[in-house]
Amino acid sequence: MTQRLDQIDRRLLDDYQRDFPLVARPFACLGQDLGLPEAEVIARLAGMQSRGQISRVGATVRPNTAGASTLAAMSVPEDRIEEVAELVNAENGVNHSYLRENQWNLWFVATAADGAALAAQLARLEAATGLQVLDLRLVQAFNIDLGFALQGPRAQMVRRPPPDMAALCASDRPILQALSQGLPLVQQPFAQLAESLGQTEDHILARIKALSEAEILTRVGVIVRHRAIGWTSNAMVVWDIATAGVAAAGNALSALPGISLCYQRVTVPGVWPYALYSMIHARSRAEAMAVLDAAKALPELAGVDHSVLFSTRCFKQTGAQLMQERAA
């Protein structure tokens, strides 16, 4: 829980979720900021990783830039949840999966090297489970940066500019895959990454900088597992809004303090009518519902039907799969 972290650990989680130093010895830079030896910074991060409080020190890749991804959902009978969740999580391309309070109760993010591999992955799951999979592809993102402050008042998230796809090279994919899995927690992580890829450290650092500036990497830094540090009341709120109103509502929602993610996805006529999605990460249901009340009061969402899906269990949370996946 958050209160069990000491002040230094809280600073590591709060101050370095983005803008990680892209230098030969980044943990020494963090140590200089914090007044700590480099070895202690590495040890603290390794400890939080082993306790499940952080996923990795690495990067998040903007969806559908270096690969294909989707948000998917299944309506799983209660007596099959463990079985179906195990099948879903066995897919190499599934990097997040959650149980949520809804008839469509099992939600997961699936990623793959390309659209064909992604479609094959979802088809395998339908065949293995005998259950329908809702394939809810991203239409447009209003806010996709989950790096928010863990202390102090809730702040408005910053809208990110569109990615510059011209900056992406075919040879960048292994770098992006490695950053999605996490840097080694050693004195010179970029040198070790470069050696594993047969590149030079200077080349790796230059490409990471270029991909960050191009908004293909949405952030480089400490990737927090929010549930493990006390943010346990997390709700996906979906809005049944006409296409013509999505842009205005999405922009208004993404500017609201407490909204940590916001995007438009495809609908499934007759099954799933919700086009606009927003995430609220909170430390209690009361805190989450206060953010939702503020969202419902926005003029752009006046009278719009919505559904609140609190997450009750996290089955899997890893980095995205960007290289060609292997069939489970």
**pLDDT by position in tens, the chain (length 328):** 444 689 999 999 999 999 999 999 999 999 999 999 999 999 999 999 999 999 999 999 998 888 899 999 999 999 999 999 999 999 999 999 999 999 999 999 999 989 999 999 999 999 999 999 999 999 999 987 777 778 766 666 667 788 999 999 989 999 999 999 999 999 999 999 999 999 999 999 999 999 999 999 999 999 999 888 888 999 999 999 999 999 999 999 999 999 999 999 999 999 999 999 999 999 999 999 999 999 999 999 999 999 999 999 999 988 766 655 443 3
Q: How far apart are CA 41 and CA 30, in angstroms?
A: 7
Strand 138-143: give its sheet, edge to edge: 134-136, 68-74, 106-112, 94-100, 305-317, 233-240, 276-282, 259-265, 138-143
Q: How far apart are CA 236 and CA 222, in angstroms?
A: 23
pTM of the complete model: 0.88
